Amino acid sequence: MPALSSPIVGELIDLLQLERLEENLFRGQSRDIGTRFVFGGQVLGQALSAAQRTVDPARAVHSLHAYFLRAGDIEAPIVYEVDRARDGKSFSVRRVVAIQHGQPIFNFAASFHVSEPGVEHQLDMPDVPAPEDLPPPPPVPAEELARLPVKLQRWLGRRGAFEFRHVQPRNELNPAKRPPFQQIWFRLIDRAPDDATLHRALLAYASDFHLIGTATLPHGISYLHGNVQMASLDHALWFHRPFRVDEWLLYCCDSPSARGARGLARGLIYRRDGQLVAATAQEGMIRLLADAAEGRA
């Protein structure tokens, strides 16, 4: 792999490579990015990386579905066990279980397909400002940051491997109520190797950012509030067309429903030339706690 100018991107790519223990057994490490537990996108990207290592390179992943069973321990490695469920004439299916401390923390299934021609259509990309015309998110003021738990301070103060430009920015510390829609440009901050399987794993990682947060928009609540408890329950991702994550992609998210301490969010991901490259869906737990201190536990 060529040298990268950003050590943060290099670290993320290394995180997704995995160590092969046996033919269908892999081990991954975790990166503490300020979340209380392992970031869901990390487990998603690593599980996809493990599955891709067991499939004919001529077959590209076109869909994946996953359930988050337990919170991941940032301090411990994660073992990924791949089940080669099926290899047909044009499709392959893999099932993956992520294991920590002897228990499954994540279940995953992915389908792979050889390239073949067929009918084609897509929804048009919305007309939004270009990423260069949007400012990056402003830093949280130091006095407000100091009032947050240490983990959240690190999360908000970090420089991650992806940069984001919000078409409709909001103040997460004091969010106003608004309709459940948002559009975000994002890209990797450094050039990545020309490896389509790596770019798919990186997109799986990035697709967990901002998605379930869309379900909080109509309610004026935020994960930064001490009485709000949020966690991803599942995640689905469909790949439609080629892309690079080191070039700007537009994430168009909406939330059709929230009820019973759960919220549903959907997303469409476009290249800047208007090509629809992927679609996502996720349900998450969204609890409002009576005791604000409990929300920081």
Expressed in angstroms, the distance from the first to the final Cα of the chain is 41
CA atoms within 13 A on the CB side of 37: 17
Residues 6+ apart with CB under 8 A from 52: 61, 197, 200, 201
Catalytic residue, from 122, 232, 255, 275: name it. 232
- Does residue 232 carry a catalytic annotation? yes
3-state DSSP call for residue 125? Answer: coil
3-state DSSP call for residue 202? Answer: helix
Report the Cα 146 to chain-centroid distance in Å.
27
Catalytic residue, from 46, 182, 208, 255: name it. 208
Catalytic residue, from 30, 49, 182, 282: name it. 282
Rounded Cα–Cα distance for residues 240 and 22 (Å): 31
Angle at alpha carbon of residue 47, lines to 194 and 18, rounded to 5°: 65
In the chain, which ranges are continuous DSSP H helix? 7-17, 40-52, 142-145, 150-157, 196-206
C-alpha pair distances (Å), 140 with each of 128, 143, 154, 268: 25, 8, 11, 28
Positions annotated as catalytic residues are 208, 232, 282
